Amino acid sequence: MDAGPVGRADELSRPSGLVRAATGGRGGLAWVQGELGAGGSTLADEMTARADGCLVLRAAQDDAHLSGDRLALGYALHASTLVASAPEAVDRIDDALAVLGEDPESVDLRLLLVDNRLTYLAGLGRWEEALAALPGALVLAERAGSFRGASLLATAAEVGYEHGDWDDALVHLGGIDTEFVGNGSNLNPAGIGALIALHRGDQAAAETYLQVAGGGRRRPAGRAGPADAMARPVRRARSAHPPAGAAPPGAARAGRR
């Protein structure tokens, strides 16, 4: 019997059935409270959600291709990086940036993509590519003058810190507009500045960075904010007195200045 054409709703429902058939109901035993989802989702639920999401993502990419909407395709490619490995994510970001070109309507998305690309490259240890990408990223961030641009400058500072270019990292931090420095949704600038100050034995500078991040703000009893967590190393440093210029933990920082 001919089942007839398969509609979009039928196509989207297909992964759910395939996952449940593959797991044979055993997913009901795979409870991982607090890791696989709110309410204690099963492994089968998570696999189904991922499969459904990938299919919807593919449909969005196809629709964007057909419409010729470069911004829509750019966002679809960005979304695809969230379910890809780090090397694949870099390739997809490159594809998205190539699609977007210099379209003025895509500035916010391009800032996000360039920011994420720097993060992936540094995380993968692809330092030559990360450092080569920095000048263009900094120009884009300076032109933007937005919170997204400030976030990109913070990422540039993080790359500088991780690579051992601490003076460069501080220059990038200094380029962030004061309007965005104390924004509670992005504490990276204060954290990086405080880390560099502590490694150089400058506790006063570290305290200043943390105060900007809100480390001194009063909160209800029993509630601590991210800035308070960042302040703990400063408190420990008061008694430990780390040597000035001590290298951070992890890989050698041969390029530190």
What is the chain's pLDDT, residue by residue, as a tens digit (257 residues)? Answer: 444 444 444 444 444 444 344 434 433 333 333 444 455 567 777 777 767 767 777 777 777 677 778 898 899 899 888 888 899 999 999 999 999 998 888 999 999 999 999 999 999 999 999 999 999 999 999 888 788 889 999 999 999 999 999 999 999 999 988 778 766 667 788 889 999 999 999 999 999 988 877 654 444 444 444 444 444 444 454 445 444 444 444 443 434 44
According to the model, what pLDDT value does residue 108 have?
93
Length of the chain in terms of residues written: 257
Phi-psi region of 247 (alpha: psi -120 to 50; beta: other; left: phi over 0): beta
pTM over 0.85: no
Domain ranges of the chain: 146-257
Structure-token pair, residue 159? 């790359």
What are the distances in angstroms from CA 9 to CA 19, 48, 61, 145, 190? Answer: 17, 15, 17, 43, 48
Four-residue CA torsion sign, 45, 50, 54, 57? positive
